[in-house]
Amino acid sequence: MREIQFREALREAMSEEMRRDNTVFLMGEEVAEYNGAYKVSQGMLDEFGAKRVIDTPIAELGFAGIGVGAAMNGLRPIIEFMTFNFSLVAIDQVINSAAKMMSMSGGQYSVPIVFRGPTGSAGMLSSQHSQNFENWYANTPGLKVVVPSNPADAKGLLKTAIRDNDPVIFMESESMYGDKGEVPTEEYLIPIGSAKIVRPGTDVTLVSFGKMMKVAYAAADEMAKNNVSVEVIDLRSVRPIDYKTIVESVKKTNRLVVLEEAWPLASISSELAYHIQRYAFDYLDAPVNRVTSRDVPLPYAPTLIEAILPSVDRTVKALNAVLYR
């Protein structure tokens, strides 16, 4: 094991897969000459050359479409969006082409493509650069949606995503690129659709993913001060969802809180609340609770951002609500 940054783990995953398979290439805005907007692809142009690390114009619809066509013809593109807010410009290619091609072609064409880049709030970037669309993409049959929370998971999941024969949405947090964590030196893969119990507990289950895992850990620490044992689960992917791990945890703790950064309506937490009441209702000692962003566009002012995003305080209150209702 060695400690590396989140961005370095992503770079290692892409570079290792590009060395392993010459059909893999990276394309997006500033990925080559500038070494990536967040320096994720630093040095890759020097190693792999301009035919495999490709700078694009500011034209997400165009280069996403090129990627889909390349994937249909035997290549394995990694398409980087500078932020998933900009993926909305390309959403027709993602939803109507990549996700549906296998079905529409009767199995004649697979689309082994990864769309990756940062998601969610990253400071004072205001309404159009701070959105979470994990639940949007997770709503689409034909896509897999991955949201890692640490460098080790990021590397293992990205390598799996690149090898997958179906399109994968791989969402990172801009504010986590500098985070450090232990990553194995040997090659490893992490299967998509496998949640992880990152902190065993007995009193209440807390489920989250992505950078909200930081809030989950902090909230669990606060509850531990009052001798409350919180079982923390990192989903890692939101399509497919590892329902079994969550159901088994709720059968043990009898309570569930779901924490995510997206807006509340039709969210991943909504889906989990339904699933648990459907398949673990008799084990629940309290209604499922959830913590999300407030139902408004994110503003610029830091004080308002703090009030709108999920917090440790709001999460602790939600945990207490299912414990002491």
210 phi and psi angles, rounded to 5 deg: 65, -150
Confidence (pLDDT) at 256: 98
What residue ranges of the chain are covered by domains with CATH 3.40.50.970? 2-183
Q: Determine the Cα–Cα distance for residues 33 and 236; give it in Å rounded to an integer.
A: 31
3-state helix, strand, coil in the chain (%, to 5): 40, 20, 40
Confidence (pLDDT) at 125: 80
Q: Determine the Cα–Cα distance for residues 198 and 186; give it in Å rounded to an integer.
A: 22
Of the residues 60, 134, 172, 174, only one is catalytic, namely 60
Q: Which CATH number fits domain 2-183: 3.20.20.10, 2.60.40.2470, 1.10.287.130, 3.40.50.970?
A: 3.40.50.970
Q: Determine the Cα–Cα distance for residues 222 and 202; give it in Å rounded to an integer.
A: 15
For the domain made up of 196-323, give the CATH fold.
Rossmann fold (3.40.50)
Of the residues 129, 172, 260, 271, only one is catalytic, namely 129
DSSP secondary structure, 110-143, as one string: ----EEEEEES--SS--GGGS---HHHHHTSTT-
> For every one of its 325 residues, what pLDDT tens digit does the chain have, with 9 covering 90 and above?
999 999 999 999 999 999 999 999 999 999 999 999 999 999 999 999 999 999 999 999 999 999 999 999 999 999 999 999 999 999 999 999 999 999 999 999 999 999 999 998 888 787 888 799 999 999 999 999 999 999 999 999 999 999 999 999 999 998 999 999 999 999 999 999 999 999 999 999 999 999 999 999 999 999 999 999 999 999 999 999 999 999 999 999 999 999 999 999 999 999 999 999 999 999 999 999 999 999 999 888 989 989 999 999 999 999 999 998 7
> Is 275 among the residues known to form the active site?
no
Confidence (pLDDT) at 123: 81
In single-letter form, the type of residue at position 115 comes to: F
Tokens describing residue 71: 């994937």
Confidence (pLDDT) at 128: 80
What residue ranges of the chain are covered by domains with CATH 3.40.50.920? 196-323
